[in-house]
Amino acid sequence: MALVTLETLFDPVVAEIMRMRLEAGGIEAVVFDAGIASLIGPGLSGVRLMVLDEDAAAARSLLAATE
C-alpha cells in the first residue's frame, strides 16, 4: 500500500479542505509538508495531498465532481 501524491497545492487551507472532501467520500487522505509550508510562508512551499495508490483514480473523480 503505497501513498501517491494526488496534488501539490500552495495553500494549506485548500489542501485541508480537499482532504476533508475525500474523507467525507470514504477515501482516506493525508496532507504532507503543511508544517514546513507554514514556516516558510504560503505560496512558497507546496503541500502534498496524498492517498493510497489504489484510491487515486476514485479520489480524482470525487474531487472533479465537487469542484
Dump pLDDT digits (tens) for 17-58. 999 999 999 999 999 887 565 555 555 668 999 999 999 999
Give the Cβ contact number of residue 36 at 10 Å: 12
Look up the CATH architecture of domain 3-65.
2-Layer Sandwich (3.30)
The three grid cell numbers given for residue 29, joined into one nine-digit string: 487522505
The whole-number pLDDT of residue 35 equals 58
The whole-number pLDDT of residue 33 equals 81
If one compares 67 and 17, the residue with the highest pLDDT of the two is: 17
51 HSE (CA, 13 A, CB side)? 25
